[in-house]
Amino acid sequence: MFPGGWPGIALVLLRVCATATPIISACQPVHNRPGWYLWALFALGAAICAGFLTHLAAFLSAAFQLFAFNTATASPLWQGASLLNALCLALIGPGAYSLDALRFGRRLLMSNRRR
């Protein structure tokens, strides 16, 4: 469930790249955003970077990016790439070097079939 080694390091890099998007979006000067929106983006960025509730945080980050797609000043190509980055992270998971791996650990899933 939580790959280690080189795939785990690659997931750390993916988390760092996915963290940059909400933080950069929060720092852009847009006047029609509410105050809680900025704090939510910072909290999502911190959760993704640390690997805390990664699936949920990445899906929420993708939802916030879709919400801000019209108001952002960045190019649509960059926004689309960052949206795909967040969705990939939400589907793949955090990796072995994350708080989720420490919290949930590796588990062996047993089938209901009797031998």
Establish if 98 belongs to a structural domain. yes
Write out the residue range of the structural domain in which residue 29 sits. Answer: 5-104
Side-chain-side CA neighbours of 39 within 13 Å: the count stands at: 3
What angle, rounded to 10 degrees, do the helices at 5-27 and 35-50 form?
A: 170
* Domains held by the chain: number: 1
Is residue 114 domain-resident?
Answer: no
* 112 within some domain: no
Question: Residues 55-59: what's their mean pLDDT?
Answer: 89
Question: pLDDT at position 71, please?
Answer: 65
Confidence check: pLDDT of 98 > 70: yes
Question: What is the C-alpha to C-alpha distance for residues 86 and 45, in angstroms, rounded to an integer?
Answer: 11
Provide the pLDDT for residue 86.
Answer: 87
Q: What is the pLDDT of residue 9?
A: 85
Percent of the chain with pLDDT over 90: 1
